[in-house]
Chain A
Amino acid sequence: MKSAARKTPDHKPARKSGDAVTEEPAIEEQPETPGEQTITFRPIQDGDPAPDPAGSGDDSASVDGDDGGTSQSRSAPNGSAADVVAEAGDGDVPEAGPGDAAASGGDRGGGDAGNGADTPAAEETAPAAESETAASSGDDAAGDAAAQAGDGDEGGTGRDGDDEGGTDATGIESAGIESAENETAGNETAGNETAGNETAGDESAGNESAGNESAGNDGGAPAGQTGGSTGRVREMPLPDPVSEALTRALDQLRVAVKGLHFGLDVPGSDEARKAQAAVLAQIDDYVIPRVHMSTAPALIVVAGSTGAGKSTLVNTLAAQKVTATGVRRPTTSVPVLACHPDDRDWFAKGDLLGGLNRLDEPADGAGTDSVVVVPTPRLPQGVALLDTPDIDSVVEAHHDSAHRMLDAADLWVFVTTASRYADAPSWGLLRRAKERGARLVIVLSRVPSRSRDVIVKHFGRMLDEYGMGEVERFVVNETSVRDGRLPEIEITELRMWLAELSVDDERRTAAVQATLNGVLNSFRSRLPALARHLETQVALRADLRSDVDAAYMGALAEIDEATRNGSLLRGEVLARWQDFAGSGDLMRTLQLRRGSKGSHQGPERVRALKASLRAGLESVITSAAQRAAEEVVARWRQRAGAGDRLAATPGLGRPSEEVMRRTSRTITSWQDHVTELIRTEGVTKRSVAKIISFDVESLSLIFTVGLLGYGTADVSVGSGTSALPQRLLRGLLGAESLRSISAKARSDLRARIGLLFDEETLRYVDALDSAGIPDEAAATRLYQATYNLEVAR
């Protein structure tokens, strides 16, 4: 993929993602700004799986030879290849004619590459390496990198040939990818691309002369790719910088996806969890390996309904019984991968489908987390067939397995039958292929020969209506199956198609790229959907939390009201107060200072009043706590899913066990506090103090009764503008002092009850937390990673 593909201005609208590349063509011909960051190819290729470049290099070399020049120089395992491209020469530019750049330029380039690749490339490796380090910072911000690439391209004059080349390459990469997406859009793209390539060639021309040939190659290659399936083969790893930026973006994405935690069960959270696992598996199984090594053999996944004949088809194509067939449904439970012996290493050791165990032959007890790799010489090189479990049988693990395989596929072969083609699961699979933008081939199997035409036409019409009319189709007649294989004649077409795919590297690569792009595109909608779900979880959690707060705030307000309007002073409290006041204890509280030491009478009445006040307050708080607890549960129940589940947590519907104990402790300490307040702050008016001494304990009770609103409610107090306790206290303590003590005592009571309720609230928070705390930042990270991925492309 390292080519100097650029786009002409016409093409701009086609590119959606904010790649700066789009801008490049517009500014073409301008000199590069040296200050711009440059990206060079790194020698990282070494780091890549060594066998791949080598193997692919061989293949591609031969292929190239056939096709004409593609810049195969890249396939050299070390960074030199990259360098070559970067340096790509002056000479190319002229060569690449505007229109035909791809073809002609490519050819020459191919030749040149053969000659020049080694020498100049090697020389320039060093500078390239240097500049890489500088560039690496730029890589992160992929957008920047792309922008720079654009600049680099524009300026033919750039000094650092390496650098510019590198940047070009990045830009081109993204261009290539995009154009691949756009393939269907039509040929103009191809034309544009080619134009772009030329310009790329121009720019690189400014660089050193050494790499001319390769530059030509570059120009040609992207054109081929972007131009769609008609172009030529490019079988090489992605250019390092791109690959690295992309890899890093993917790693970031992977971490971000992994970091999502859907703790609450809201509607759709199961789906979200599944989608998360699928995305994660796809990144691991497919995207990362594929981005690392685009030259790997294409993986063709054969999927379809149970009994559709997938295994039979694979066996026939492999001309060998690689996978079991039979009348039992479902037949295949362990995926079987058939490939050419030369490709076996890649599949046996490769990262593709890395999470699966490799088996040499089907073993008993092997689950859907293994894959059997069978080499078979009859399959052409470069393509591998994967026989999957079904998508619709009664064994649901098979569906997941099949979908996982499909997620890792470069090409989908969808097998259905004459009696199944209208099944809902089949169309579900087609819809998925459409959504993912995967390259798809449909095999309609087991067609009775006498009704073949009717069925094929009907199915074709259904596909047309579904917008998939142009998908390649093969028809296999219903015949007798012998030894798990169909007669060879039935699959001739299919085999030819396969052989073409094997030979025509370009077409294969195009298909591979198309699918990869489709997958990456699908991330655009799948990842934000995950993030959105996480956000709803966060929002739900906030709602649940606010339900709790609202309920307890309500309870607090209720208590506030009850302790203010005198409704507390009923029943026993009132009786005790009457007892206290009416039996003269109230008067005895106040004593003349001089002389009389009056026996302190009736402390039991004081104690009884105090106890009844405490009991009254406690009952108000307990009852409010009870109502609050019930309200929280009621509110939670109204929330969908998670709330309902959480509300069922035992014990949440009523106050906690300790609430009684805590309440009585709270009230007792509050009463002590009030007494203390009266003692310390109740600075008796001096005039009074001379005459009267009073019992603090009793006075604090009188004060409490007044504070709780005695006389304000239905408790009539007869005449008087203010109730008895207030008047008495005002007389004794002074209005100012009384007010301040009242305010303090009231706010202290509220604070204490608030504290008590906070502890109650904690139980709900714990329940919420036990369901998992959705991380709000995770959604942002995911958005960011998705964006970065787009930019890196």
Chain B
Amino acid sequence: MSAVSTAQAQFGLGSRLAALSRIVELGPGRVEPALLTEAAQLLLRAGDRLKLSPEHTVVALAGGTGSGKSSLFNAVSGLELSPIGVRRPTTARTHACVWGLDGAAPLLDWLQIQWRHRFARASALDRGEGRLHGLILLDLPDHDSIRALTDPEAHRLIQVADLVVWVLDPQKYADASVHRRYVAELTGHDDVTVFVLNQADRLTPEEQAECVADLEDLLRREGVAHPRVVATSATTGKGIDGLKAVLADSVAARRAAYQRLEADLDRLMARLAKEMPEVLHVEPTVDGARRAGLTDALCDAVGVSALGEAMENVYGVRSVDWVGWPYARWAARLRPDPLSSLRLGGVKDDIRTLVGSSVSAQPAEVDNAVQALGDGLSAGMPEVWQNGVREAARSRSPELSGALSKELAEVAPPLDRVPGWWWLLKIWQYLLVVMFVAGLAWAGSILAYGVFKAGRPPAEILGDVAVLPWVGLMMVSVLGLGLLSAVASRNFVVLGAGKERDRLERDMRRRVGAVAQDMVVTPVERELNRYNEFFGAMAAARR
């Protein structure tokens, strides 16, 4: 295990894999599901492989039918372990030969090699083969015969082996089944891939050279930067030592497993990056201007300013009933009413109750406001992420308009509210009216008793003609006082309504802002963080 950790530290594979797992966590809904599955499989495989014996290197002999995989396997192992034959296809099950069996069993279990196809090279028998200690050589079935169409075993093992040796022969080395399906995918796998041109004995030396050169060209064209090509002949034994040397290098380095995983990771990341090019780093928080914009838009949806105006106007109108000059009201009532002449008198009551109904937010405008925020923030992002931001912004919009309405109801005074001082003023006005009436009565009695001598006045003051001008003066001043106080209180009402309106708008903005923060901005910021984290992980996994 210590080897694993040092290796991880050495190659940074661990942190890259951690970043990949972060991608897998954050990816669903944003990344092609097939790619995510592949990433998850790679994680799983990496986890398994890194846990299992780091002392062993799994080398797979892969190739088409008839290229001589089994012959090569036998030649390398020096034993007739895998049956060879002329019938095609020959090998149907994978055979494994292990140099140094200690700790290899779990690995072989993981590779799903059947017990009866496992062979061990006892080290005692090995003469000078100690350098191959730690090698697990697999003889795969072919991948290109009609049998292989239904048997994924070769494909599976090619994917998991630490080092793949492609066994080609002069007849088949350019087959599409190898190149299209595997080699073209091998970009970056140079260190963990070896090509063997087997059956070299069938060629003259010149032909062999031409063949190898052609193969190398072909491989380079397909993106294998430094192809390692070894010409061998399993039948004559030529080149087998060269192959063994190549294998021994890899086995001794004990690095093939990591290199393979790294190469796989590189390839996966390249594909991920292709699908999801990083566009830009976004601010993880919603800036003040956007917030203000959102609040404004939501306030409009609730109709805060309209409500303020309505309040101001309606108060002004309604206050007339309370603090207005009663005489003017009475005079107005004398005017003919068009509605009553249409027998629509009830409408007035309706209008009166109308202003009592509460205001609520309009859902469509709320939607649009939230939409605008999402669009503004996600501009320039890849489309899936744009959708993600939009979804996040909308995540709570069904409740949003309800919440806004509730806030509004708490803050906004009902339009039919009647403040206490209106009562006082109304009493004052009626008091003045009473005084006026009293003055009128007084003046009348003075006229009756004092001027026309209708009788003896009950009190002298009631008949004193000299008081009459004073009474008249008093009546006029009472009227004037009523008028003045009506005008003044009207002004107070308007002033108060204006203040009330300011307070309402301020309060409302604050509350709308809080609701928006809670129900829109927070989810959006979470999504933006996810975006940044995802691309951070992408960058980390790409090394």
Q: Which residues does A use to contact B, with CB under 8 Å? A: 305-308, 326-330, 392-396, 399, 417-425, 427, 446, 448, 451, 454-455, 458, 562, 567-568, 570-579, 581-584, 586-587, 590-592, 605, 608, 612, 615-616, 619-620, 622-624, 626, 648, 653-654, 688, 691-692, 714-720, 724, 727-728, 731-732
Contact = CB atoms under 8 A, between A and B. Distances in A.
B365 interface: yes
B145 A623 contact: no
A297 to B, nearest CB: 32
A431 to B, nearest CB: 10
Nearest to B302: A571
Contacts of B533: none
A592 B337 CA distance: 8
Given A576-B310, A584-B317, A724-B347, A329 B214 contact: yes
Given A455-B87, A619-B364, A620-B364, 19 more contacts: A329-B170, A396-B180, A419-B88, A421-B88, A422-B89, A458-B88, A562-B364, A571-B365, A572-B302, A572-B305, A575-B359, A581-B354, A583-B316, A587-B348, A619-B362, A619-B367, A623-B371, A626-B367, A720-B346
Contact of A616 (B86, B180, B359, B364): B364
Pairs A-B, 10 closest by C-beta atoms: A419-B66, A572-B303, A579-B310, A329-B174, A422-B88, A571-B362, A718-B353, A575-B306, A307-B171, A583-B313
A579 B306 contact: yes
B338 A691 contact: yes
22 contacts: A329-B173, A396-B180, A418-B88, A422-B145, A427-B146, A458-B88, A567-B363, A568-B364, A572-B362, A575-B306, A576-B306, A583-B314, A584-B317, A591-B338, A619-B301, A619-B362, A619-B365, A623-B371, A624-B364, A719-B353, A727-B346, A731-B347
A615 B297 CA distance: 12
Contacts of B88: 418-423, 458
Nearest to A693: B338
Nearest to B88: A422
A619 B305 CA distance: 18
Contacts of A624: 364
A717 B357 contact: yes
Interface in B333-365: 336, 338-339, 341-344, 346-351, 353-357, 359-365
Interface residues of B, number: 80
A455 B64 CA distance: 17
A419 B65 contact: yes
A448 B86 contact: yes
Contacts of A692: 338, 341-342
A581 B349 CA distance: 11
A756 to B, nearest CB: 15
A417 B66 CA distance: 10
A586 B339 CA distance: 11
A607 to B, nearest CB: 12
B372 to A, nearest CB: 10
A327 B415 CA distance: 98
B300 interface: yes
Given A423-B64, A724-B351, A454 B303 contact: no
Contacts of A396: 176, 180
B350 A724 contact: yes
B149 A571 contact: no
Interface in B61-88: 64-67, 86-88
Contacts of A571: 300-303, 306, 359-362, 365
Given A392-B175, A572-B300, A714-B360, A418 B66 contact: yes
Interface stretch (B1-9, B203-211, B427-435, B523-531): B203-211
A727 B344 contact: yes
Given A419-B88, A724-B350, A306 B175 contact: yes
Contacts of A688: 342
A728 B355 CA distance: 17
Given A393-B174, A581-B355, A616 B147 contact: no
A434 B523 CA distance: 62
Most chain A CB inside 10 Å of its own CB: which residue of B210, B342, B357, B364: B364
Contacts of A619: 301, 362, 364-365, 367-368
Contacts of B354: 577-578, 581-582, 717-718, 724
Contacts of A577: 354
Interface string B173-190: 111111110000000000
Nearest to A448: B86
Given A420-B66, A572-B362, A653-B383, A622 B368 contact: yes
Contacts, number: 255
Most chain B CB inside 10 Å of its own CB: which residue of A575, A576, A616, A714: A575
A720 B347 CA distance: 10
A360 to B, nearest CB: 27
Contacts of A421: 88
B474 interface: no
B171 A420 contact: yes
A427 B144 CA distance: 11
Most chain B CB inside 10 Å of its own CB: which residue of A571, A583, A654: A571
B515 interface: no
B172 interface: yes
A582 B359 contact: no
A570 B361 contact: yes
Most chain A CB inside 10 Å of its own CB: which residue of B88, B149, B203, B353: B88
Given A572-B306, A576-B310, A394 B357 contact: no
Contacts of B317: 582-584
A641 B149 CA distance: 26
Interface string B309-334: 11001101110000000000000000
Nearest to A688: B342
A330 B149 CA distance: 24
B162 interface: no
A578 B314 contact: yes
Contacts of A329: 170-174, 214
B43 interface: no
Contacts of B483: none
Given A394-B218, A581-B351, A419 B341 contact: no
Contacts of B415: 578, 582
B359 A570 contact: yes
Interface in B110-136: none
A575 B303 contact: yes
Contacts of B351: 581-582, 586-587, 724
Contacts of B67: 419
A582 B177 CA distance: 83
B147 to A, nearest CB: 7
B365 A616 contact: yes
A676 B360 CA distance: 31
Contacts of B361: 570-571
Given A394-B179, A419-B172, A578-B415, A570 B360 contact: yes
Interface in B374-419: 375, 383, 387, 405, 415
B494 to A, nearest CB: 13
B262 interface: no
Interface in B146-174: 146-149, 169-174
A6 B302 CA distance: 91
Contacts of B341: 691-692
A417 B172 CA distance: 11
A130 to B, nearest CB: 60
Contacts of A716: 357
Contacts of A579: 306, 309-310, 313-314
Contacts of A427: 146
A428 B346 CA distance: 90
Nearest to B172: A307
Nearest to B203: A327
B105 interface: no
Given A392-B177, A454-B87, A718-B350, A608 B306 contact: yes
B338 to A, nearest CB: 5
Contacts of A719: 349-350, 353
